[in-house]
Structure 1
């Protein structure tokens, strides 16, 4: 039991990676669609590249989405609305009219003309309510057919046959003027206005039920294909009826794979492919970025971002596949480049796109477009902390999306008339969503404790508390760090390294000298040398200890690991040569190991640049009457010695880049010493 616990403790980092690998794979497989995959890629407008295809079973030809939408629109436009005719209202109106006659007309008029008035009122009410009176409603054309429901019977009439309330005044005036009751017009109008009520009402619920019934009755198929029928021959163009049949076969094929046994096999297949993709990512990181592989937080961060992109894409695809390009997939390489490097960002992006090929429609088009966009993102985005660069990059990414989609549409359709403007809008929205990368990077910094160029920009502020403390306790070291930062930044720009990172590393690389500032020559304000009272070995220990002390101070002040790397490696495994030679004069058996920095040696271009710049700047103070020739020899001597001692063996810096760094150092030193061209006398 103890052995198991000990082994688990020793290999806990490996066990965590295995757990993270399995968890990520399970979550991705869970998000993937569980239907089977059709074994042929259907590309509209392209020749059929496979063998002659025969129907493996009977299946129906599905109507296209456009056909179904068109059929639905036609049903909706031709649908006849229903109106209810209320007989009770008619009876009430007529009864009220009989009562109102005696109230409106005087007794003298009723004695002489009551029967005539009653007959006239009854006649007009019969005409008005023959079809019915409709309250103000959405106005339709007079010849628009409608159904008028009287109980269980529905009669088709024209909308114009129904009286609208607004039409009643004209109708009454016309009929009264034509009768022999013109003298009683005010009383008659008063009577009708008081008793007439609408009795026809639009039946929205019944109308909608009838419409839904018709829409639900739509057939989504047109015709069928029998087993053994040839569907398409090799070389035929995939378009028109052939394309519809192939899509129908694909959908039927994938739906028939749905069973408990096939479901398990499909899950198994997905699991193999997803695990293989994730394994390739892990192996890539292990081979080319061992420092990231050994850091479980960074591995978790990478897998989390991959999983986030898969989740967002599957979510959008389930909601509406047409909007899949709204997902800002290029945030993934942007984020990983901001925290790590371009190569890892691009590789992770490609792995993610390959996994998403199982999810999205038109997978080849999607993968081609996203991989090209990812490459453009990696190639164009530099110095992400500069807002203008991000906006320019977003514009370039959006342009690439549009250009590639334009090209695919031309290939598939053979013209530009079928371009979908809505797709262009999704590209623009996806590009704008990419701008969210800056606040996202800030969130990741706080969640995962990582550092980006934007954080480096904040750390480069010389008014920060730690750098102010350095300038107060060790002003000479602070001035030296500023000079090294300027030299290192210029060299990094020349060879395309991370200039912001190397500048910040240079500013903080000597903070350990705050512990014993007077033991370093740049801080000695008087002729008294603190080392005069120490042995060479003790002096070397103090000099060497500034690296360890600097690491401790950096960790106490929560400086990022990427910055601490510069403190750790800026002397590599070189020796404190002055005190070593001094000790050797006193003791022939002096060991160089006692005077050697603990290392490690630089392991990146940026840390290698800092080592060269730090050594050259510090040693340049000893130059007497500098000339162009002296400076050139001086720089060559220092850098070549570092190369001979194999200080750059683990750094990914080339000989050509080292020569460029030498050139910049020589130029900068000449400017510092204000050298002029030596003219012949």
Structure 2
């Protein structure tokens, strides 16, 4: 026998395998055995939208190459070059001034000139940036050193003026020689002596450099902007890759390979994605089960039921998917999307119904993807969610079978509305015939959902012992053999049961318990009294009380036996286990006080335990509420003209007595809920036992 943990693991693993197996054909992409430079046997379209990285890279490169080099005008360069000329003339004047007052030491003029030249070049090398001494000839330097201060001043002004004028305009690599020529020509016409004029001409030409230069950073920035502005090149879903009969060239072959349409390049990603989805769905069901407040047996039953409902829904979905190959417009909308949520709502609980609705909507997007694998059908997600959740909300609280079919009609109309929403939101051209077919199939989906629910529900109830609202409503029918048996054989008990049912239902609904179960369970809780109806006071009409002739012990055995007799009778008639449990538990282990005190008066050694019901104590909230309601109804009925205060005190004493006696220790009812039960019982009893006007005779 598997433990609960392993049982859950096995069920969820099998469910994941079933999910994977069902949708495996849907996500398997169609591949082709195609050779390069062969002829296509059929037209191939892209199954999905994908970014072509290689093409995108090429487009980015072309966009960057189309951006021309960027040149910038350096407005500060003119001042820099003029300052350089200024520095050269300053050094020449300093050297001339230094050697003017210096003794020659017997050197001739030629030796002195060379010494001055060396000094000039040394100072320029140390203090002036750039290779000035290597670029300017020694002849020009000698001319500067031989010139008079006035000649140097005139040369300085002419050079700086022409350089500044030339560099105030754009000088490029291409027209730099022309600019130098213009400067030289201007200096030639300056009227300077030949030697200093030639030196000034050489200095002026040296000072002219391009000021409109290539800006590598700005050029790269603009090229990067051009690359960024290029939209990714995409192969769109449905785009024709190659026409039938056309040659498979290198570009076409590359696109087929990129899309994974070649047998040699199939991707495993879709299979990994499907496996993750299957285990995600199983994980969601596990979380739903693990957080359920129930016994392990009940959790197992609910997990298996949820899994079976899901598998049945998936099988119907697969059938609808196969029928789409008939190419009948809108036939996929005939899938009974509301069936699983409705079944879950009836057999399990609201949360599981919404959970299955969401899971099946996701599954529908995979199943109904058309002829293109690796895609999702968003329209079917919307349709399945609307019809699934709508069916849950439209289902009445107590769904009889006739009202269940009525819910199917409402779901069908909701499906039609959902189709209209989908078609009109698409804002495309509507083909009238296709639209009408789709509406027809959507309406049929709602009817089929109700039919499948009505057909499957009895099998689930029989297999898992489920007590659904529909089953409870059926069991509440007064024509049921056991209810007729109570009515005919123990009419007082029948009336008492009806009163208890009203009280228990109101109290259970006030605390969020199953009010319908409490009502119907109350109808049957005293069925054991039909075995000896005359021994119970509500059935003693104008006849002596038989207990007056019996010993306390005999009376005790008869009274206590009705709980066990009722449970056995309900099991014999194959009524749900919840009813037999209520019959056994509705007195818990309470004390038969009247017969105990009667026996105590006869024999002081009588043990209290001998006059207690065997139990068990109430195990559920419904059984606990019926336990209270049963005692309260009998006690209030025995009072003469009870007032609201009398009723409140009586109910409070009975509930407090049950708490002190530990009768609710084995169920999950709280003290706060017991306060709500007391208040609700008082309100209901006040409505039943209200004061009436005394009419004159």
2:475 aligned residue: 459
| Equivalent residue number for residue 195 of structure 1 | none
- Residue in 2 aligned with 1:219? 43
Counterpart of 1:480 in structure 2 is 496
Q: Indicate if the aligned counterparts of 2:552 and 2:596 stay in contact, CA closer than 8 A.
A: no
Aligned to 1:501: 517
Asked if the contact 1:470–1:477 (Cα under 8 Å) also holds between the matched residues in 2, the reply is yes
Instruction: Report what 1:556 is aligned to.
Output: 572
Larger radius of gyration: 2
User: Does residue 432 of the first structure (1) align with residue 447 of the second (2)?
Assistant: yes
Deviations 1:397-451 (A, max 9, x none): 4455455555555665499999955443332221122221223323544565544
How far has the Cα of 1:541 moved from its partner?
Answer: 5.2
Distance 1:294 1:455, change over 3 A: closer
Q: For the residues of structure 1 that align with 2:240 and 2:316, how far apart are their CA atoms?
A: 29
Q: For 1:218 and 1:358, how far apart are their aligned partners in 2?
A: 26
Report Cα offsets for 1:234-263 as digits up to 9, x if no partner: 99999x995645999999877549789966
Partner of 2:358: 350
2:211 corresponding residue in structure 1: none
Aligned partners of 1:354 and 1:21: how far apart in 2?
18
Tell me the equivalent position of 1:278: 282
Query: Hey, what does 1:161 align to over in structure 2?
Result: none
**C-alpha displacement at 1:559, in angstroms?**
0.5
User: Take 2:315 and 2:296, find their aligned partners in 1: how far apart are those partners?
Assistant: 24
Q: Residues 313 and 612 of structure 1: is their aligned pair in 2 closer, same or farther, counting only changes over 3 Å?
A: same
2:390 to 359, 370, 376: 376
Q: Confirm whether residue 25 of structure 1 aligns to residue 16 of structure 2.
A: yes
Q: CA deviation at 1:612?
A: 3.2
Number of residue pairs matched by the alignment: 492
Q: What are the within-5 Å matches in structure 2 for residues 32-431 of structure 1?
A: 32-34=23-25, 219-221=43-45, 228-230=54-56, 244-245=238-239, 256=261, 270-271=274-275, 273-291=277-295, 293-294=297-298, 299-320=303-324, 322-361=330-369, 362-386=376-400, 389-390=403-404, 393-394=407-408, 396-398=410-412, 400-401=414-415, 413=427, 420-431=435-446
Q: Deviations over 1:295-330 (max 9, x none)?
A: 766544332221011111122223318533322122
Aligned counterpart, 1:619: 635
Counterpart contact for 1:285–1:292, Cα < 8 Å: no
Q: Tell me, yes or no, if the aligned pair for 2:285 and 2:303 is still in contact at 8 Å.
A: no
Gaps of 5+ in 1: 1-7, 39-57, 61-215
Identify if the C-alpha distance between structure 1 residues 398 and 521 changes in structure 2 by more than 3 Å, giving closer, same or farther: same
CA distance in 2, matches of 1:462, 1:236: 78
Question: CA-to-partner distance for each residue in 1:625-646, whole Å, 9 max, x for gaps?
Answer: 3223212332333345445666
Deviates more, 1:314-323 or 1:408-417: 408-417
Deviates more, 1:622-631 or 1:288-297: 288-297
TM-score normalised per structure 2: 0.57
What is the deviation of 1:617?
Answer: 1.2
Matched with 1:117 is none
* 1:434-449 alignment, distance < 5 Å: 434-436=449-451, 437-446=453-462
Is the contact between residue 419 and residue 442 of structure 2 (CA under 8 Å) also seen in structure 1?
Answer: no
What's the counterpart of residue 620 of structure 2?
603
For 1:628, which of 622, 635, 644 is the aligned residue? Answer: 644
Distance 2:229 2:666 in 1: 54
Separation in 2, partners of 1:619, 1:356: 58
> In structure 2, do the counterparts of structure 1 residues 417 and 465 end up closer, same or farther at CA, with 3 Å as the change threshold?
closer
